[in-house]
């Protein structure tokens, strides 16, 4: 089965365009015929796991004469029967955008996922684990690869993994007053959604969410990062991580101390290592003038 990597942000754009095109039809419902109710349509929609509680779902539209689009949180499909993968645990709500005689009807269908027995992509499990507990990432005390600290700055693209222009070790405080605290860490989990939880050094807990896009531009994929033992990853940068409502530990750009934007290139990801990179505004990848700066965060998993 071909895995679907069309993510939710693209889904929303498609859905918005579809809804806009149906507004006139909905307004002129008398000439086109009556719209079936959401309950009537829902009765002929089916979602079930390939095995009880599985995250591999078979979704079916059994409505005669009614086409539509499923939004299954990480992608969309217009097929009458399709098999899709969700990376989330717990109760999930899928939406079906039905097109019938009187316009468009949005129907919600719920399903409970109890186990991730069909990973969407191994990278999801590497980042957030495969259980409700999730996965915790702490500062890497020994990032290697020419760096002497786990948090710092480099040349955007030239420094393909660790910070090697300026950096700070665990326990140090930067000149801008940012502390790299061993007591601060972040956890990603898929329990009911893509959740990110920051545990701050003072005991404060900040909860938010994340989105993880696998795949990036050709020039980023052509870069040559390495694991902490010096072995090339062989994959270049692999994608983008975005945080909402929460930040990374030491969530500031290294040189100017401004709050991080929350969008990061995923430079290195394995079961034990995570390196995230944020360019300064306007930074040019592998800038010929070597004037474009990026901030780097290096973590290891518990």
Residues 218-230 have pLDDT tens digits of: 999 999 999 999 9
CA dihedral sign, ordered 46, 49, 53, 54: negative
Flag whether the pTM goes above 0.85. no
**Portions of the chain given CATH number 2.60.40.10:** 8-113
Phi-psi region of 129 (alpha: psi -120 to 50; beta: other; left: phi over 0): left
pLDDT of residue 8: 37
Q: Is 90 exceeded by the pLDDT of residue 25?
A: no
Question: Would you say residue 3 has pLDDT above 70?
Answer: no
CA dihedral 77, 82, 88, 89 (to 10 degrees): 140
Note whether 275 and 162 are within 8 A (CB). Answer: yes
How do residues 9-23 score in pLDDT, each as one tens digit?
A: 334 333 333 333 333
Tell me if the domain spanning 8-113 has CATH number 2.60.40.10: yes
Q: In this model, does residue 30 exceed pLDDT 70?
A: no
Higher pLDDT, 89 or 6: 89
What pLDDT sits at residue 175?
87
pLDDT in tens, 235-283: 999 999 999 999 999 999 999 999 999 999 999 999 999 999 999 999 9
Residue 4 has pLDDT above 80, yes or no: no
What is the Cα–Cα distance from 301 to 68, expressed in whole angstroms?
Answer: 42
For the chain, report the end-to-end CA distance as a whole number of angstroms: 33
């Amino acid at each position: 089965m071909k895995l679907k990597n069309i993510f939710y942000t693209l889904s929303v754009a498609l859905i918005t365009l579809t809804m806009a095109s149906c507004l006139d039809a909905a307004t002129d419902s008398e000439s086109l015929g009556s719209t079936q109710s959401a309950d009537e349509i829902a009765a002929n929609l089916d979602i079930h796991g390939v095995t009880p509680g599985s995250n591999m779902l078979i979704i079916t539209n059994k409505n005669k004469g009614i086409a539509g689009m499923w939004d299954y949180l990480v992608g969309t499909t217009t097929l009458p029967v399709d098999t899709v993968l969700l990376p989330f645990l717990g109760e999930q709500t899928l939406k079906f955008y039905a097109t019938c005689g009187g316009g468009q009807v949005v129907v919600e269908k719920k399903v409970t996922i109890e186990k991730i027995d069909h990973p969407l992509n191994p990278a999801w499990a590497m980042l957030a684990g495969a259980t409700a507990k999730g996965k915790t990432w702490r500062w890497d005390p020994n990032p290697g690869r020419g760096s002497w600290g786990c948090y710092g700055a480099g040349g955007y693209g030239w420094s393909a993994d660790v910070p090697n222009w300026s950096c700070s070790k665990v326990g140090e405080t930067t000149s801008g007053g940012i502390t790299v605290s061993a007591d601060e860490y972040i956890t990603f989990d898929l329990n009911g959604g893509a959740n990110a939880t920051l545990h701050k050094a003072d005991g404060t807990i900040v909860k938010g969410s994340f989105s993880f896009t696998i795949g990036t531009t050709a020039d980023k994929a052509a870069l040559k990062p390495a694991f902490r033992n010096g072995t090339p990853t062989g994959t270049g940068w692999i994608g983008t991580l975005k945080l909402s409502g929460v930040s990374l530990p030491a969530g500031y750009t290294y040189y100017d101390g401004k709050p991080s934007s929350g969008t990061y290139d995923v430079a290195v990801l394995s079961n034990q290592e995570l390196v995230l990179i944020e360019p300064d505004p306007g930074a040019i990848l592998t800038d010929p003038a070597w004037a474009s700066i990026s901030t780097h965060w290096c973590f290891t998993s518990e």
